[in-house]
Structure 1
Amino acid sequence: MNVVLASSEVFPFSKTGGLADVAGALPKALVQNGLRVSVFSPLYKSIDKTNLTLAIGVDIDFNGQIVHTRIYKTTKEACDFYFVENEEYFNRDHLYGIGAHDYEDNALRFGFFSKATLDSLKALGIKPDVLHSNDWQSALVNVYLKLFYKEEFPQTKTVFTIHNLGYQGVFDKYYMNNLGLLWDIFTIDGLEYYDKVNFLKGGIVFADAVTTVSKTYAQEIQTQEYGFGLDGLLRKFSYKLSGIINGIDVDVWDPKTDKFIDYNFNDPKHKIKNKNALQKLLNLPIKEVPVFGIVSRLAAQKGMDIFSKSIKELLKSNIDAQFIILGNGEKDIEDTLTEVANSYKNKVSLNLKFDEPLAHKIYASSDFFVMPSKYEPCGLGQMIAYRYGTLPIVRATGGLKDTVKNYSNRVKNPTGFVFEKYDPLELTKALKKAIDLFNKKNELLKIAQYAMGLDYSWENQAKEYIKLYKKIYG
């Protein structure tokens, strides 16, 4: 089976979030299962062209002109990665925008990428059995294919994956002209959304199958609370909607070989050396106390608003614990956590940045990993934490609900702590339960050892995608 995956970011070439991890790891797992896989992504300024070879030049009819485009290629682990060059659209310092402000021409940038992907496939002679697009940035691949490319790709089926419904690519309706789209599809049953054009909606309507990144999230997005205005559409197309949990790259996240941690280990009872090394690095007291780690975007969606309230109350009660936080995000949350960190320097280390080595150290050194998300389509942090024998503390939503079993006398083989209501008091209760478990050393070790043996590799999750591909391709 020949599969082409289109993604606006792909690790290790470009990354802002979990989409890049999926686009980098899933193809590798598919190849290992015998599929032929190609990945298409934009050639951003940050990608070093010297490591790529020129595959082909293609003329793209777009926005009223013919744009000559060069397509570059590299092959990693038997998977071909193609990059679409466009100096005007992609030679920028950032992928989507500056800070919280998106680039004003994102409709054109990613409309061009979608069309260029199809024209490149045609020029390269690649005829995919399945074309798998991801999020709003590549959603128009489905639309263009069905409208204009059925003769070139008569057998090709499409899968569209929603990684986060909160981001939909909604633009002024007059972009329909720039994008070369037919006004016939600017209807409530097509791309129209409150008199604007909605890329993600188009991806859903024109796909043969729609997936999202956990079973629970697939149900949640069909409700008004989590549907972001598309819940009715998703209920309408529920027959082609399914949830497949993401996997993690177990070669990157492996405590036995991780090059970023101070001491490699294969049993959580040996984590103490990493904990002490991290405490020293971050100027925290070197002592045996529960350490809570956070590696996250500091945003309300990630639950950081209730966490900032919860940590303040906990620290006021003089608990003996340490919190190590890595990430950046919304200013009000950053300001609150900065105030807390300045007031409790012996208990809180706040690192307002992205730092891959430090992220690995936090996973390997913490006893507990905090993910109190308001909504979480999948979440990778809890699965990575398991690999290092670190127990997650999560809210029961999306992929977190699907992958974490609450510590309780009634639950066999618990793997962490789960709270239901989105409230700082409920999070505080969960944090206190974790501290209580920390004081039961043997029980904590037994649970951590079990969690460390869980398998959330892409090897398993790729098989679910292959089943879906075969189902729609027939």
Structure 2
Amino acid sequence: MNVVIASSEVFPFSKTGGLADVAGALPKALAQNGLNISVFSPLYKTVDRSSLTIVSNVEVDFNHTKTSINLYETQQNNCTFYFIENQNYYNRDYLYGIGAQDYEDNALRFGFFSKAVLDSLKTLNIIPDILHTNDWQSALINVYLKVFYKNIFTKTKTVFTIHNLGYQGIFDKNYMNNLELPWELFTIDGLEYYDKINFLKGGIVFADAVTTVSKTYALEIQTPEFGFGLDGLLKKFSYKLSGIVNGIDVDVWDPKSDKFIDYNFNNPKDKIKNKNALQKLLGLPIKEVPVFGVVSRLAAQKGMDIFSSSVKELLESNTNVQFIILGSGEKDIEDQLSQLASQYKDKISLNLKFDEPLAHKIYASSDFFVMPSKYEPCGLGQMIAYRYGTLPIVRATGGLKDTVKNYSNRSKNPTGFVFEKYDSKELTKTIKKAIELFNKKDELLKIAQYVMSLDYSWKNQAKEYIKLYKKIYGYR
């Protein structure tokens, strides 16, 4: 089966979040199952070109202009990765914008990407059985395919994956002309959304199958609370909507071989060496206290507003803990945490940046990993934490609800701590329960050993995608 995946970011070439991890790991798992896999992504300024070669020159007809671009290629994990060059659109310091401010021309940047993927396939004479697009940035591929390329890709079926419905790619309707989209598509049944263009809506409407990244999230997005204005549309298309939980790349996240951690280990009782090394690195007191790790975008969606309130409450009551936080995001949350970090230097290490090596160290060193998300389509952090014998503390939403089993005196094979109500006091109570478990060393060790044995690799999840591919293409 010939599968083409399009993603606006792909690890290890470009990354702002979980989409890149999925777009890097899923192709490898699909290839290991015998599929022929190609991946397309923009050639950003930040992509390391040392392993790339120019494979073709492609003429892209976009915005009423013919643009000649170089198409770059590299091979990795039995997959072919293609990168679309456009100096005007992608030769920038950031992928989508500066800080919280998106680039003003993102409609054109990713409209061009969508058109260029299809023109590249035509030039290379690649006719995919499945074209798998991801999030709003590649959603117009589904539209362009059905409108302009249906006579070329006559048998190609499309799968569209929603990684986070909160980001939809909504732009002024006048972009219809720049994107060369027929105005008859600008209807409530097409791309129109409150008199604007909605890229993600187009991806849903024109796809043959729509997936999202957990079973619970597939249900949640059909409700007004989590539907972000598209719950009615998703109910209408529920017959082609399904949830497939993400996996993680177990070669990248492996405590036995992880090159970023100080001491490799196979037993959680040996984590103490990593904990002490990280405490020393970050200037925290080296002592045996429960360490709570956070690797997250510091945003309300991720629960960081209730987290900062909970941390304040715990530290004001002189709780004997340490928090190690990595990430950046909304200024008010950054400011709240910065104030706490300056006040409690011996209990908080706040690192307002993206740092891949430090992320690995936090997973390997923490006793607990905090993910109190308001909503969470899937979440990879809890699965990565398991690999390192670190117990997640999560709110019961989306993929977190699907993958974490709450600890209690009655639960069999618990894997972490789950709370229901989105409230800082509920989070504080849950953290206190984790501290109680920390003081029961043998029980904590037993649970940590169990979660390290869990398999959340792409090996199983890739098979779910293959089933879906075969179903919509008509394979038996």
TM-score by length of 1: 0.99
Unaligned runs of 5+ in 2: none
CA distance in 2, matches of 1:437, 1:51: 48
Matches within 5 A, 1:310-459: 310-459=310-459
CA distance in 2, matches of 1:111, 1:293: 38
- Coordinate RMSD, CA, aligned: 0.7
Which residue of structure 2 lines up, in the alignment, with residue 83 of structure 1? 83
**Shift of residue 438 of structure 1?**
0.5
Which residue of structure 1 lines up, in the alignment, with residue 308 of structure 2? 308
* SS class of match (2:75): strand
* SS class of match (1:51): coil
Moved more, 403-412 or 151-160: 403-412
Matches within 5 A, 1:148-297: 148-297=148-297
* SS class of match (2:55): strand
Give aligned pairs, total. Answer: 474
CA distance in 1, matches of 2:100, 2:352: 16
CA distance in 2, matches of 1:56, 1:28: 24
Task: Please tell me the residue identity of whatever aligns with 1:267.
Answer: N
CA distance in 2, matches of 1:282, 1:220: 39
* SS class of match (1:375): coil
Which residue of structure 2 lines up, in the alignment, with residue 53 of structure 1? 53
* SS class of match (2:74): strand
CA distance in 2, matches of 1:424, 1:77: 43
**Shift of residue 416 of structure 1?**
0.2
Which residue of structure 1 lines up, in the alignment, with residue 92 of structure 2? 92
CA distance in 2, matches of 1:284, 1:156: 56
Q: Deviations over 1:176-211 (max 9, x none)?
A: 111111111110000000000100000000000000
Q: Deviations over 1:346-391 (max 9, x none)?
A: 1111111111111111100110000000000010000000000000
**Shift of residue 411 of structure 1?**
1.8
CA distance in 1, matches of 2:319, 2:379: 28
CA distance in 1, matches of 2:75, 2:377: 30
CA distance in 2, matches of 1:297, 1:48: 24
Percent identical among aligned pairs is 81
* SS class of match (2:61): strand
Moved more, 444-453 or 344-353: 344-353
CA distance in 2, matches of 1:61, 1:290: 58
**Shift of residue 410 of structure 1?**
2.8
CA distance in 2, matches of 1:91, 1:280: 39
Q: Deviations over 1:101-138 (max 9, x none)?
A: 11111111101100110011011010000000000000
Q: Deviations over 1:379-426 (max 9, x none)?
A: 000000000000000000010000000001232100000000000000
Misfit runs of 4+, over 2 Å: 48-51
* SS class of match (2:9): coil
**Shift of residue 345 of structure 1?**
1.1
Q: Deviations over 1:190-248 (max 9, x none)?
A: 00000001000000000000000000100000000000000000000000000001110
CA distance in 2, matches of 1:211, 1:294: 28
Q: Deviations over 1:55-92 (max 9, x none)?
A: 11111111111111111111111100001111111111
Which residue of structure 1 lines up, in the alignment, with residue 71 of structure 2? 71
CA distance in 1, matches of 2:84, 2:381: 31
TM-score by length of 2: 0.99
**Shift of residue 48 of structure 1?**
3.0
CA distance in 1, matches of 2:350, 2:257: 27
Check if 1:143 corresponds to 2:148. Answer: no
CA distance in 1, matches of 2:102, 2:282: 34
CA distance in 1, matches of 2:289, 2:95: 40
**Shift of residue 50 of structure 1?**
3.7
